[in-house]
Amino acid sequence: MRTEESENDRLAPVFVHDEPKYFEKEAHLYPPEYEGHFESLVMTAETIRSRVRDLAAIIKEDYAGMRPVLLCTLKGACPFYTHLTDALQDLCQGYDMEFVRASSYEGTSSSGNVIVSGVKPESLQHRHVLIIEDILDTGTTLAHLVPHLEDVGKPASLEVCTLLDKRLEEPKKYVAKYVGFSIPNHFIIGYGLDYNELYRDLKDIFIISKEGISFDRSNLH
């Protein structure tokens, strides 16, 4: 039997401290149009990959004998979803794949309006559903999405696995069961996370610079 304490330890996120991480430009791969757009490093692709494998092992343990529906939230969670499902394959853990579009963000602030689309309720019915998220910020998106899916999909269970959880002053509107990393409160980009649809195509995660925020993308084709 696991005690509550050991269960909390088992599910504890990796803590990324507040101090900025300086980085050697040469050590990172990124498209040339992003030059000067990173303020500091949050985590490398290797750090992400290693934690994703740990999360897969925890999920395999918890879903033993089940075939969960892994519900990817588009577009941000795509890289995380790809690497997590790959790690689950290595562990011979089966799953079904579904995708949902849910967003509450415009620019760098949460708008509070959540739009859900793209998932058929029948695909969730009586199933163990695990939502795969890139980032948990205020929790606005999940606080709408989770009850909505429970209501229309009637799943047997519904949990959330988020790669990142931003540390905020105020309480969150939703708390996820599985969390990869607890991160400081900055606007970050990379590994699926965007700023106005840029930077999803980065392997690593960075804090965006002022230059990145004010970049005019209209001459990129």
Quick one: what does residue 41 bind among ligand HPA, Mg ion, none, with the CB cut-off 5 to 8 Å set by partner type?
Answer: none
Query: Contact letters (x/-) for Mg ion, 83-112, by CB under 5 A?
Result: ----------------------x-------
- Minimum CB separation from ligand HPA for residue 61, in Å? 29
158 vs 183 by CB, closer to ligand HPA: 183
164 burial type by CB count under 10 A (0-12 exposed, 13-18 middle, 19+ buried): buried
In whole angstroms, the minimum distance from the beta carbon of 69 to ligand HPA comes to 23
Give the one entry of Mg ion, ligand HPA, none that residue 187 binds, where binding means its C-beta sits below a cut-off of 5 to 8 angstroms depending on kind.
ligand HPA
Give buried/exposed letters for 77-108 (b at 16+ CB in 10 A, else e): bbbbbebbbebbeeeebebeebbbebbbbeee
Using the rule CB under 5 A, is 159 a contact of Mg ion? no
Q: Cβ distance 71 to 98 under 8 Å?
A: yes
Cβ-Cβ contacts under 8 Å for 74 (sequence gap 6 or more):
99, 100, 101, 118
Number of residues that bind Mg ion (CB under 5 A): 2
CB of 57 to Mg ion, least distance (A): 28
Which uninterrupted H or E stretch holds 11? helix 4-11
Question: Could you list the residues that contact ligand HPA (CB under 6 A)?
Answer: 105, 135, 137, 187-189, 193-194
Residue closest to 73 by CA, chosen among 169, 187, 172, 176: 176
Interface with Mg ion (CB under 5 A), residue from 152, 182, 194, 200: 194
Residues with a catalytic annotation lie at 137
Which residue's CB is nearer to ligand HPA, number 56 or number 205?
205
Residue 93 vs 104, nearer CB to ligand HPA = 104
Residue 1 tokens read as: 């039997």
- What string marks each residue from 5 to 44 as x (binds Mg ion by CB under 5 A) or -? ----------------------------------------
Please tell me whether residue 78 binds Mg ion under the rule CB under 5 A: no
Smallest distance from the beta carbon of 188 to Mg ion, in angstroms? 11
Return the DSSP state at 183. Answer: E
In the chain the beta strands, taken as DSSP E runs, fall at 14-15, 38-43, 69-74, 96-106, 109-117, 128-136, 157-166, 178-183, 188-189, 205-208
Q: What is the spatial distance between Cα 159 and Cα 176, in angstroms, rounded to a whole number?
A: 7
Q: Are 177 and 146 in contact (CB under 8 A)?
A: no
> Shortest approach of Mg ion to residue 149 CB, angstroms?
20
- Interacting residue ranges for Mg ion, rule: CB under 5 A: 105, 194
